[in-house]
C-alpha cells in the first residue's frame, strides 16, 4: 500500500509540472485563439534566463545573499519575458490580425525555432543549475500507518504549492476582471472586440506576458529538479496530451488533465510495465489522448463546439 | 407616438473615397447625420453600404475625405478611438463572443467604462465591487429591454439567430453610444423577427436617445422607420432625403428596378 501511495504521489507531482506547461498553452489559446507551439521553447528560454541571471547577478552587484540574488534574477527573467511578449506582438501578431488560426499556428512554430536558437546563443547551451533553495531532503510520512512510511520529496510539495497558487491567481484574473473578460472576448472574435474598444495589441502583450510568466515558473521548477537543458522543450510535447485530455479552453482542465496523465504514466509503468517489458511511461499519455480524441474531442472540460450549419 | 427632437449635425461625412486596388468602393460620398435621427443607408448589393459603415467605424481608412464627429474632424482613426468617442456598431455577419454567456457578451460592451484597479477587481473588494454591480445593473436593464432575460446565462453560440442579433445589439447598447451603427440588423430574419427588431430600433432611438445609422436591404422596413435615407449605387450617392423624396427619385427607381435602355 505504501508503495502504491508513493507511486501515486510521484505521479501527481510529475503531473503538476505537466499542468504548468499545459496552462501556458491554454492561456494563450483561451485569450487569443492561437495554439502557441512556442510554449515549450518559452519554458526553456525562461529557465535559461533564470539560471544564467542567478549566476551573473551576484557577481554584477556583489551580493552575498543567495535569496536576494535569486529574487533579482527572477525579476530580470520576468522583465525579459515581458520584452519577449512585446516583441512578438510588435513583430509577428500585429501583422496577422483577423488571419486564419493555421497562419498564426505556423507563426508560433517559427517563434519556437527562433527562441530555441536565440536563447542558447545569448545564454549558452550547456546544462545549468537553478537553485532556489527548495529543500531536497525526502521526508517520511505516515510512518505510524505503514511500515517504513511513505517517502515524499519536499521539493515536490513546494512545487505543488507554487503551482496551486499560480492557478488560483490566474482563475481570479480570468473570471473576475474586466481585462480577463476582454481576453476571452478577443479569443472569440477580433473584429467585434475591436469594435467595442478593446485594444487588441495591448491584450496580446498581456496574454503572452502571462503565458511567459507561467513558462518562467514552470521552467524554474523543472530546472531546479532536472537542470536546465535543451531537453526541457520536449516537456512541452508531454503537455500536448494533457491539453487534449483537459480541453484546450479550460484552466481547471489543464490542471486535472496534467494530474491524470502524471498518475496514469506512473501507475501504468509500475503495474503494467513488467507485463510488457516496461517503457509504457513514454507513450501512455499519447494513447490516452488518442482515446479521448475518439470519444470526447473537446476534452473533459473544454467548450463543446457548436456549429450551426 | 412622441414627437422627437432632431438636433444638430452630429456626424458629417465629407467627400469620402475608398479604393481597394483598382476597385472604387466609394466615390466622393458626402452626407450628414443629425442628433437623435434614424438615418438609413440603402442600395443594391455591392453598392458600398458596408464599406461606408466600416469607414465611419475606423475599420477602413478612406484614401480621400474626412469625417467630422461632434465638431472634431478626422481623416483616419482606428476602431478603439471611434469606440472611445461613443460610436458603437453591430455586424452584418454576427460577430459575437460565442463561448461566452449572454451577460458576459453584453458586459464586454462596458469594458471601456470599467476603471478600477485590476487587483481590486480580481478580489472584488472596495470600489471595484460597487463598480461591477453598477455595470451589471445597466446590463440587466439592457437584457430586460431586449427581452432576453431567460437566456442570460446561455452561451451565445447556442441561441437561435434572431436572438443572437439581439445580443449583438445589446453589446453595442452597453457602450451607451451616441451614434449606433447597425449593419443589416434584419438580414436573414423572418417577418416576426423583423417586426421585433424594428420595434427595438425605434425604442432604442426613443429611450436611449441614440442616433442611429442603419444599413438595410428591406425597402419596406427602411421607409417605415427612418427619418432620412441615403441611397448608394456602385459606390456613388444617387439619392438623399426623406423616404418620400427618395421613393420618387428617378435614379433610385432605376437602380432598384432596372431601366429599359
Phi/psi-derived region of residue A299, left when phi > 0, alpha when psi is between -120 and 50, beta in every other case: left
Dist. CA A32–CA A28, nearest whole Å: 6
Q: Which of B122, B133, B154, B165 to mutate to test the interface with A (most CBs of A within 10 A)?
A: B122
> Residue A215's pLDDT band (boundaries 50, 70, 90)?
very high
Grouping H, G, I as helix, E, B as strand and the rest as coil, residue A273 is helix
The full length of chain A comes to: 309
Among A184, A189, A198, beta carbon nearest to B95: A189
pLDDT at residue A67 greater than cutoff 50: yes
Is B92 domain-assigned? Answer: no
Angle at A273 between CA A141 and CA A243, to 5 degrees: 80
Dist. CA A224–CA B148, nearest whole Å: 53
Torsion of CA A270, A271, A272, A277, to 10 degrees: 50
Q: What percent of chain B stands above pLDDT 90?
A: 23
Do B106 and B30 belong together in one domain?
A: no
Measured between CA atoms, how close is A305 to chain B, in angstroms?
A: 8
Do B187 and B261 belong together in one domain?
A: yes
Q: Considering just the CA atoms, what is the radius of gyration of chain A in Å?
A: 20
Domain end (from B171, B200, B215)? B171
Domain end (from B152, B171, B190)? B171
Q: What is the pLDDT of residue B213?
A: 93
Do B203 and B255 belong together in one domain?
A: yes
List Cβ neighbours of A47 (8 Å cut-off, separation of 6 or more): A130, A216, A219, A220, A222, A223, A228, A232
Under DSSP, the state recorded for B123 is H
> Residue A90's pLDDT band (boundaries 50, 70, 90)?
very high
Largest Cα separation within chain A, whole Å, is 66
Among A178, A197, A249, beta carbon nearest to B83: A197
Dist. CA B131–CA B257, nearest whole Å: 54
Classify burial at A184, counting beta carbons within 10 Å of its beta carbon; exposed 0-12, middle 13-18, buried 19 or more: buried
> Residue B258's pLDDT band (boundaries 50, 70, 90)?
low
List Cβ neighbours of A51 (8 Å cut-off, separation of 6 or more): A123, A128, A129, A130, A223, A228
> Residue A48's pLDDT band (boundaries 50, 70, 90)?
very high
Dist. CA A118–CA B132, nearest whole Å: 44
Q: What are B241-254's pLDDT values in tens digits?
A: 898 888 888 888 88
Among B111, B155, B175, beta carbon nearest to A178: B111
Question: Number of folded domains in chain B?
Answer: 2
Residue B174 C-alpha cell reads as 452597453
Is B109 domain-assigned? Answer: yes
Do B191 and B242 belong together in one domain?
A: yes
Domain end (from B171, B196, B225)? B171
Do B1 and B125 belong together in one domain?
A: no
Q: Which of B50, B57, B94, B95 to mutate to test the interface with A (most CBs of A within 10 A)?
A: B95
Q: Which residues pair with B73 in a beta bridge?
A: B68
Indicate which CATH number applies to the domain containing B57.
Answer: 3.40.50.300
Q: Which residue has the higher pLDDT, B164 or A63?
A: B164
Residue range of the domain that includes B130: 98-171
Residues of B in contact with A194 (CB under 8 A): 59, 79-80, 83
Q: Which residue has the higher pLDDT, B74 or B140?
A: B140
Using the Cβ of A178 and the Cβ atoms of chain B, whether some distance falls under 8 Å is answered with yes
In which element (H, E) is residue B89 found? strand B87-89
Torsion of CA A168, A171, A172, A174, to 10 degrees: 160
Q: What is the pLDDT of residue A305?
A: 60
State which of A68-77, B42-51, B87-96 shows the largest mean pLDDT: A68-77
Amino acid at each position: 500500500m505504501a508503495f502504491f501511495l508513493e507511486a501515486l504521489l510521484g505521479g501527481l507531482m510529475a503531473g503538476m509540472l505537466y499542468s504548468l506547461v499545459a496552462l501556458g498553452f491554454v492561456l494563450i489559446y483561451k485569450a487569443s485563439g492561437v495554439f502557441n507551439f512556442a510554449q515549450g521553447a518559452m519554458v526553456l528560454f525562461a529557465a535559461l534566463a533564470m539560471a544564467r541571471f542567478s549566476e551573473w547577478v551576484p557577481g554584477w552587484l556583489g551580493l552575498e545573499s543567495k535569496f536576494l540574488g535569486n529574487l533579482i534574477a527572477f525579476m530580470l527573467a520576468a522583465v525579459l519575458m515581458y520584452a519577449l511578449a512585446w516583441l512578438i506582438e510588435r513583430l509577428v501578431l500585429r501583422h496577422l490580425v483577423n488571419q486564419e488560426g493555421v497562419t498564426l499556428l505556423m507563426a508560433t512554430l517559427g517563434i519556437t525555432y527562433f527562441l530555441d536558437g536565440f536563447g542558447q546563443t545569448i545564454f549558452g547551451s550547456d546544462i545549468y543549475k537553478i537553485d532556489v533553495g527548495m529543500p531536497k531532503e525526502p521526508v517520511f510520512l505516515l510512518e505510524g500507518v505503514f511500515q517504513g512510511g511513505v517517502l515524499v520529496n519536499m521539493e515536490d510539495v513546494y512545487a505543488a504549492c507554487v503551482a496551486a497558487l499560480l492557478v488560483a491567481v490566474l482563475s481570479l484574473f480570468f473570471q473576475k476582471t474586466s481585462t480577463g473578460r476582454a481576453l476571452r472576448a478577443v479569443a472569440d472574435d477580433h473584429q467585434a472586440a475591436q469594435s467595442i474598444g478593446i485594444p487588441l495589441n495591448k491584450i496580446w502583450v498581456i496574454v503572452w506576458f502571462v503565458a511567459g510568466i507561467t513558462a518562467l515558473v514552470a521552467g524554474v521548477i523543472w530546472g531546479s529538479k532536472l537542470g536546465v537543458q535543451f531537453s526541457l522543450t520536449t516537456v512541452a510535447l508531454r503537455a500536448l496530451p494533457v491539453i487534449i485530455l483537459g480541453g484546450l479552453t479550460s484552466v481547471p482542465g489543464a490542471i486535472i488533465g496534467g494530474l491524470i496523465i502524471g498518475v496514469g504514466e506512473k501507475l501504468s509503468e509500475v503495474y503494467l510495465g513488467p507485463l510488457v517489458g516496461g517503457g509504457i511511461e513514454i507513450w501512455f499519455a499519447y494513447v490516452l489522448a488518442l482515446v479521448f480524441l475518439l470519444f470526447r474531442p473537446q476534452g473533459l472540460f473544454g467548450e463543446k463546439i457548436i456549429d450551426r450549419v | 407616438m412622441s414627437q422627437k427632437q432632431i438636433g444638430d449635425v452630429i456626424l458629417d461625412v465629407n467627400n469620402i473615397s475608398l479604393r481597394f486596388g483598382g476597385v472604387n468602393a466609394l466615390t466622393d460620398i458626402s452626407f450628414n447625420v443629425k442628433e437623435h435621427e434614424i438615418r438609413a443607408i440603402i442600395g443594391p448589393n455591392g453598392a458600398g453600404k458596408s464599406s461606408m459603415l466600416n469607414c465611419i467605424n475606423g475599420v477602413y481608412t478612406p484614401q480621400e475625405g474626412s469625417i467630422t464627429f461632434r465638431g472634431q474632424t478626422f481623416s483616419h482613426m482606428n476602431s478603439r478611438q471611434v469606440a472611445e468617442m461613443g460610436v458603437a456598431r453591430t455586424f452584418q455577419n454576427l460577430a459575437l463572443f460565442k463561448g461566452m454567456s449572454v451577460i458576459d457578451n453584453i458586459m464586454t460592451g462596458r469594458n471601456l467604462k470599467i476603471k478600477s484597479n485590476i487587483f481590486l477587481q480580481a478580489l472584488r473588494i472596495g470600489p471595484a465591487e460597487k463598480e461591477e454591480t453598477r455595470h451589471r445593473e445597466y446590463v440587466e436593464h439592457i437584457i430586460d429591454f431586449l427581452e432576453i432575460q431567460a437566456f442570460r446565462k446561455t452561451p451565445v453560440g447556442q441561441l437561435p439567430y434572431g436572438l443572437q442579433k439581439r445580443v449583438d445589439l445589446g453589446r453595442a447598447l452597453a457602450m451607451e453610444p451616441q451614434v449606433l451603427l447597425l449593419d443589416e440588423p434584419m438580414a436573414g430574419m423572418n417577418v416576426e423577427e423583423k417586426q421585433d427588431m424594428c420595434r427595438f430600433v425605434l425604442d432604442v432611438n426613443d429611450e436611449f436617445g441614440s442616433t442611429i445609422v442603419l444599413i438595410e436591404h428591406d425597402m419596406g422596413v427602411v421607409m417605415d422607420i427612418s427619418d432620412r435615407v441615403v441611397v448608394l449605387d456602385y459606390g456613388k450617392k444617387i439619392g438623399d432625403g426623406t423616404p418620400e423624396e427618395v421613393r420618387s427619385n428617378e435614379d433610385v427607381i432605376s437602380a432598384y428596378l432596372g431601366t429599359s435602355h
